[in-house]
Structure 1
């Protein structure tokens, strides 16, 4: 018996017998009684969960900002100016009001663009699908305000806007319940980083060197 057979056998035993009813899938048949965090989602709108998200994002060396809907455009303009960004990559569904006050060239995401083209932009601004407070993780799913996966992996500076409290959950199981597994999911916990055998941390190897997260209410 190969290692592959062993692994698949364990998966099969964990799933249990295949449902006899052809209209019932494993998705319907497998129990998912996961612990979903404090109050099974009841604390999504609790400021304590938002504080936990901000704390864990900062622990991963993301830079966290807070704003309301009226101040979002001004904050984004200031963040991009502080970075010295002149060319900013913009997903097709990003609300135009978000960058209305930014004195930058807005570069649309084009399918024909290569990694070299994307490397010529200074920053990218996106929304997100869900943010997980317990792990400090942002999840992007390729929706119009987020763009394709590569637009957040090549530029050196990523500004991600999280609508709070609606897009914030306490735990990973809660996030999975909101996400479509058929979509291209990108899970982000802080800026890209790796360590060599000497444990020297190097940032920006597999993605942006700098991640800024804006927690915005009232949008």
Structure 2
């Protein structure tokens, strides 16, 4: 019998009497009651409080804003599923800077560390907590590309903004690799000295796309 089989057999033995599962009351809020504009404004407020850069644009303003944020970057990486139209202005301004990360040919950690920025989409955002969630979809890529480069530019569609966490969780597939982002990477030592960039990008710019 393998170690796995032994563990499973012990679990079956411990649960042989099939004890009833107690009812757990859940009285927390399940709906925020906020309309779309209120969700946008609340998310902006929280992100600014976290020291993230925030811009709200329409479709026509998205590519120019991304180009503006990438103006100082010598190179940047994008997941293979990102909408190429979002990068049209950045490519026109300075072609040849884009690196594409694919599952077949992923960039190494050293290669990711050498690029200045990353541009991704997002799965869901939580307005109340200022949290942006990536789920590894083709337009978001694997977790490493959003953690290694020093500058993360993240596009959040306005219809992907949930008011509170329970609303966001209902939109997510819990079997996917989820990355939860609340502002730029930061931590504090015992004297409460804030240090940024310890375990992720020092700079986070969020572009909220009205849709």
Aligned counterpart, 1:78: 68
Aligned counterpart, 1:123: 117
Aligned counterpart, 1:193: 186
SS in 1 for 2:187: strand
CA RMSD of aligned residues (A): 2.1
CA contact (8 A) 1:137 1:189 kept: yes
CA contact (8 A) 1:44 1:169 kept: no
Aligned counterpart, 1:61: 51
1:32-71 superposed matches below 5 A: 34-39=28-33, 43-45=34-36, 47-71=37-61
Tell me if 1:107 matches 2:110: no
Q: Residue 179 of structure 1 is aligned with which of 167, 172, 187?
A: 172
TM-score by length of 1: 0.80
CA contact (8 A) 1:36 1:170 kept: no
Aligned residues: 188
Aligned counterpart, 1:169: 162
Residues 203 and 106 of structure 1, relative CA distance in 2, 3 Å threshold: same
Structure 2 spans left out of the alignment, 5+ residues: 1-14
TM-score by length of 2: 0.83
1:94 and 1:174 map into 2 onto residues whose CA distance is: 25
Pairwise CA distance, 1:197: 1.2
Tell me if 1:17 matches 2:24: no
SS in 2 for 1:202: strand
SS in 2 for 1:119: helix
Aligned counterpart, 2:209: 216
